[in-house]
Copies of this chain bind each other. A is one copy, B any other.
Amino acid sequence: MTSTPVAVVASDAEDQPERTPELEALYRGFEREMLIPLWTEIGDLMPLAPRSRAVPHLWRWTNLLPMAERAGELVPVGRGGERRAIALANPGLAGRPFATPTLWAAIQYLNPGEDAPVHRHTQNAFRFVVEGEGVWTVVDGDPVAMRRGDFLPQAGWHWHGHHNVTDRPMAWIDGLDIPFQHYADSTFFEFGPDEVETREAPDRSRSERLWGHPGLRPLTHLQPTPATPLLAYRWEHTDRALSEQLALEAEGYRATVEPGHAAVRYVNPTTGDDVMPTLRSEFHRLAPGTATEPVREVGSSVFQVFDGAGEVTVAEHTWKAERGDLFVVPSWQPLRVATDGGLDLFRFSDTPIFEKLHQHRVKGDHQ
């Protein structure tokens, strides 16, 4: 812990008091006493609407994946570094490995036969697989297969490691609330074994066998838990749910967020609420020829294109986005997505933080 000197810098706003010698002396006194007045800072601190330092940005999968592969050659995975994960660093966030002020997003890469060692931390985490398979993430001893389209939550303070049982490398996306917990000073971390505790590689985890039945709850687990006990949300279910929404829309029923726009939220079956206390995760499907209405929302999001292609506009930025590409939407920046051929989008965000603290706002045409 080091001490930073305080500098009271005169704002050039018209409403500032005249810079007399007396005022300068007062400001120097403030500095000595570790004080800063509101009136020189209010413009930055209390804007009329959120002005995030984070900027909209898109990372190309075609750039990310080769770098991860190269890291796979050069950087061992093991105790200390813990994970071969490479994080998106938002250009507005002072060179920190933060996708947004609250969210971490990284590509993780595991070679054949490698183990990512066991640890646990208060950060909430998940994995999402845009392509490939062969790694099992072992959560509290329960091995969970990872395959294309699967969403694999893993809430804070659960032991976990990964092992690649195949002869091919695998890459996937990690999402966490590292920046939020780092900022908020709430992070704890503990080391477990260097090697994952089981070599089992079952098709379905025990968690799915207990919790993966729609509307059915085991009588052994009747208390609500803050995070989901279901450790895998399989692609076949997500895909079917989205297809059904579009089919129901075509039959004339209300099932989509807006025309051509199907969407599901991954939820905790013990509460019906978000999968983890700080992270929201959703999957959106746009039918061919769909353009969404612009939406702006308090809180930030990271999206990954799962399939198809489309045009993404965040505030004044527009990109053509394709499979695997990731982009961020900072707080209160309007987002609009359009596609000719159809688009499947995975999304995660920090919205539960704002909803729980009664700071959430959303503004759009369909909400």
Contact = CB atoms under 8 A, between A and B. Distances in A.
A219 B52 CA distance: 26
B47 A187 contact: yes
Contacts of A83: 38-39, 42
Given A14-B80, A45-B178, A48-B190, A230 B215 contact: yes
A186 B218 contact: no
Interface in A88-102: 88-97, 101-102
Interface residues of A, number: 150
Interface string A225-244: 01110100100011011001
Contacts of A93: 4
Q: Which residue of A7, A17, A34, A101 has the most chain B CB atoms within 10 A of its CB atom?
A: A34
A240 B218 CA distance: 12
Contact of A357 (B75, B80, B220, B278): B278
B82 A52 contact: no
B359 A217 contact: no
B359 A353 contact: no
A15 B80 contact: yes
Interface string A13-53: 11111001011001001100111111101101111111111
Contacts of A241: 213, 216, 218
25 contacts: A15-B79, A33-B59, A33-B67, A34-B57, A34-B91, A35-B64, A35-B67, A36-B86, A36-B87, A36-B96, A38-B85, A39-B83, A42-B81, A45-B182, A46-B178, A46-B189, A50-B185, A102-B184, A122-B359, A184-B299, A184-B350, A211-B214, A212-B214, A214-B269, A217-B264
Nearest to A151: B215
7 A-B pairs with least C-beta separation: A15-B80, A39-B81, A185-B331, A36-B97, A3-B91, A219-B263, A213-B241
A59 B354 CA distance: 32
A75 B17 contact: yes
Contacts of A255: 206, 209-210, 218, 220
A25 to B, nearest CB: 9
A88 to B, nearest CB: 7
